[in-house]
Amino acid sequence: MTPAEGSPLALDPDTMRRLGYRVVDLLVERVHAEPGPVVRRASPAELRSRLWSPPSDGPTSFDELLDTLERDVLPYVARLSHPGYLAFIPGEGTWPGALGDLIASTLNLDTCWWLGASGPSSLELLVVDWLRSWVGYPEGSAGILVSGGSAANLTALACARETRLGAMDGSAIVYFSDQSHSSLARAARALGFRHDQVRVIPSDDRARIRVDALRAAVGFDLGMGRRPLAVVANGGSTAVGAVDPLDELADLCAEHDLWLHVDGAYGAAAVLTERGRALFTGLERADSITVDPHKWLYQPVELQRGFEIAPDYLRDIAADDQEVNLSDRGLQLTRTCRALKLWLSVQYFGLDAFRRAIDTCLDLALHAEQAIVAADELELTSPASLGIVTFRRHPPGVDDETALERINASLAEQIEEQGDTFLSTCHVRGRLSLRLCILNHSTTRAEVDRALELAATLAVDASAARSALRESYPPLERGWLGQTRLDRDALRAFELFATLDDVLAERVLAESREHVAVAGEPVIEQWQTSRELYVLLGGAVEVTADGVTLSILGPGDFFGELAAIDWGAGFGRTRMATVTATAETRLLVLDRPLVDALQKGSPGFNDVVQRVIDTRAASL
C-alpha cells in the first residue's frame, strides 16, 4: 500500500476502499456467524503473551493487523448482540447505527462549534428534539447528547447546582435512592459534594424510593439549616428495573423548590410504547432526564449557562441568535457527532420497529416471571419490570441463607460455562438473585426458556461457589459514599471489635460501609428480610415491635440478623422489630459474609454477640 503524495498518513482512494471493504466483511461475518459462546475470557498473562510488543517503526500489512485482531483480541469479549446475552446493560446495536459512527469517525466531525459543524449540529438538535417530544417536554426544552448515562447524570446534577445555587454551597444536600446507579455517587464527588452532603434514601419492597422517608430527610435537613438541592429518581433501576413514583416526587420537589432529575438511562425510552408510558406517569414534570440510546435510546436535558465558557481564543466561534455551540451545553469542548447513529437507525427502521422491539422485551420478561412462579425450585425475587426479572434457585428444605447464596452463585458460574447463556447476579432485599436482563432485539423465548431450564436443573454444590460474585453493577453504597472513616484503633474502641486481630480489623474496614440515617428514618422494618448487621458509631435508634418500644440503642450497640439479636428473629427468618433513627445516626454496615468471617475468626466477637442475644431474648 502506497500513501498518496503529500501526507505520510494519507491513502489513495483504491487503497481506502480495499481496506474499508475488508473491515466491513470482517464485521458482517462476525455479526452473522454462528453465535458461539456468549462470553469468552483469557487471563492477563495469556493476553500479554499474545499482544504485548513494541510498536513497529515501519508499516505493517493491514491484513496482518486484522488477522491479529481476529485471532488475539475479538474472540475474548462478551458478545452483546448474542441472543443469549441476558446479563448486563447495554445490549445489541444496529448496523445503521454502527455505520453512523463510522461516518462520524472517518470525517472526524467536531460538533463543538456551529461555524465548523452547522449541519451535524442541526442534526443533533433535531434528534434531541425527538427525545424531548418522546419524554413529554414542552417545545423549547434544551438538551445534548453525551458519552453515556454516567456523563449525563453528572451534567444534570451540575445544571441543578448551577440553577439553584450558583457557586458550590457546603450546606447543599442531594438525595438518591439506595437503588440509584453508582455513577451518581461519582458525579456528586466530581462536582464537589462531600459524602455527608448526600442522603441515600431507603426503597420499598418494590425497590422504589420511599417518599415518606425522603420527606423526613428533607424536613430534618431544613430543620438543621441545610439547603436541600436535588432529588434523583430512578426511571428503571439497574438491579430490578424499578420506576420511582414520579408524580409524588414531583409534588414534594415543587413544595420545597427541589430540582428533580430522573435517571432514565436504562428505562425511559420505553415511553415509546403504551405500556412503557404508563409506567412513567409524571416524567414530564422532571427538571432533567437522562435517556440512553445505548439501552433503549438516550439524552440529558440541560441548561446552557451551566457550561458556557468563552475565553478569548474561542470568541471567533461564538454562536449568534439561533446558532448553537453544543460545547456550551456540556462538559466537552471537542466532541464527535453522536446524533448520526440514532438518526440513521430511527429513520432507516422507523419508530414502529423500535416500539415492537421494546414490547417484545417486555413480553419476554413477563413470560419469564410466569415460568419462574410455575417452577418447583425457582423463587421470584422481583417481578418483571422494564425487561428485568430476578429470581433464585430455592431447593426444598434449604432455608439457610448462606447456603442459598452459594447455590445461586454456583449456578451463575455454571450457566456461564454452558456457553450459550449469560446471566448476572444482584442482591434483592438482601437475597442473592439471578438476574435476567432482556434487552436484545434478537432474543427470543427460546433463549429465555433455556436460561430458566439451566437455572432449574443444573446440579449445584453450595460449597463450590467462588466468593467473588458477578453483580450487575456495584451498589451505590460500595463506593465513596459509604466508605468508612474509621481506622483500626477507632474500630477497636467499640466492644464488638475490641478483640479483632489486624487481619480481621482490616477486612472490616475494607468491606463494611457507613450509612448516615436521618431522624425518623427506619433503618430496619418489622417483617423485613434484609440481612446486614448494623453497629452504631454515633446517634441513637429506637427499637419497636407492634408499636411498643423495646429499647433505645446508642454508640457501640448493634442490631441485625444474628440469631435472636432482632428480638426474636431467627436465622433466615423475617425481622420481628423496627429500628428507627431518633437523631442523625452514623451506622457501620456489615454484610452477612463478613459477619460469618468474624464469627469464625474471632471468639471475642462471638462472646459479645452471644451476651447480647441472651440479654435480648430474656427481655421478650
For residue 523, which of 595, 578, 577, 589 has the smallest C-alpha distance? Answer: 578
Residue 394's beta-bridge partner residues? none
C-alpha pair distances (Å), 288 with each of 200, 264, 341, 384? 20, 10, 23, 26
pLDDT, average across residues 89-100: 76
Question: Averaging pLDDT over each range in 304-318, 376-390, 534-548, which range is the top one?
Answer: 376-390
pLDDT, average across residues 288-314: 46
**Does residue 595 register a pLDDT over 70?**
yes
What is the structure's pLDDT at 614? 77
Which residue has cell 500479554? 48
**Does residue 68 register a pLDDT over 90?**
no
| Confidence at 453, pLDDT banded by 50, 70, 90 | very high
**Domains delineated in the chain:** 13-79 (1.20.1340), 110-333 (3.40.640.10), 354-457 (3.90.1150.170), 484-618 (2.60.120.10)
Residue pair 343/130 in contact (Cβ under 8 Å)? The answer is no
Residue pair 557/613 in contact (Cβ under 8 Å)? The answer is no
| Confidence at 325, pLDDT banded by 50, 70, 90 | very low
pLDDT, average across residues 482-491: 81
Omega prior to 475 cis, within 30 of 0: no
Look at 523 and 347; give whichever has higher pLDDT.
523
**Does residue 353 register a pLDDT over 90?**
no
Cell reading at 200: 441515600
Tens of pLDDT, residue by residue over 419-439, are 888 888 888 877 889 999 888
Mapped onto helix, strand or coil, the DSSP state of residue 614 is helix
The alpha-carbon radius of gyration of the chain (Å, integer) is: 27
| Confidence at 223, pLDDT banded by 50, 70, 90 | confident
**Does residue 3 register a pLDDT over 70?**
no
Tens of pLDDT, residue by residue over 241-261, are 899 999 999 999 999 999 999
Q: Are strands 585-590 and 522-524 parallel, antiparallel or unpaired?
A: unpaired
What is the structure's pLDDT at 574? 43
**Does residue 152 register a pLDDT over 60?**
yes
H/E element, 490: helix 488-492
What is the structure's pLDDT at 397? 83
Cell reading at 501: 486481630
**Separation of alpha carbons 82 and 80, rounded Å:** 6
Cell reading at 575: 425481622
pLDDT, average across residues 344-348: 76
**Does residue 480 register a pLDDT over 60?**
yes
Tens of pLDDT, residue by residue over 191-213, are 888 877 888 888 888 889 999 88
C-alpha pair distances (Å), 219 with each of 260, 523, 526? 17, 17, 24
**Does residue 554 register a pLDDT over 90?**
yes
Share of the chain above pLDDT 70, in %: 80
pLDDT, average across residues 147-164: 82
Look at 404 and 334; give whichever has higher pLDDT.
404
Across the chain, mean pLDDT equals 79
What is the structure's pLDDT at 307? 30
Residue pair 579/559 in contact (Cβ under 8 Å)? The answer is yes
Phi, psi angle pair for 589, to nearest 5°: -110, 125
Tens of pLDDT, residue by residue over 76-86, are 777 777 777 77
What is the structure's pLDDT at 541? 93
Sheet holding 522-524, edge to edge: 522-524, 578-581, 541-545, 548-553
Q: Are strands 548-553 and 533-538 parallel, antiparallel or unpaired?
A: unpaired
Residue pair 167/203 in contact (Cβ under 8 Å)? The answer is no
Angle among Cα 69, 72, 73 to the nearest 5 degrees reads 60
**Does residue 339 register a pLDDT over 80?**
no
Cell reading at 382: 422481583
Which residue has cell 483469557? 42
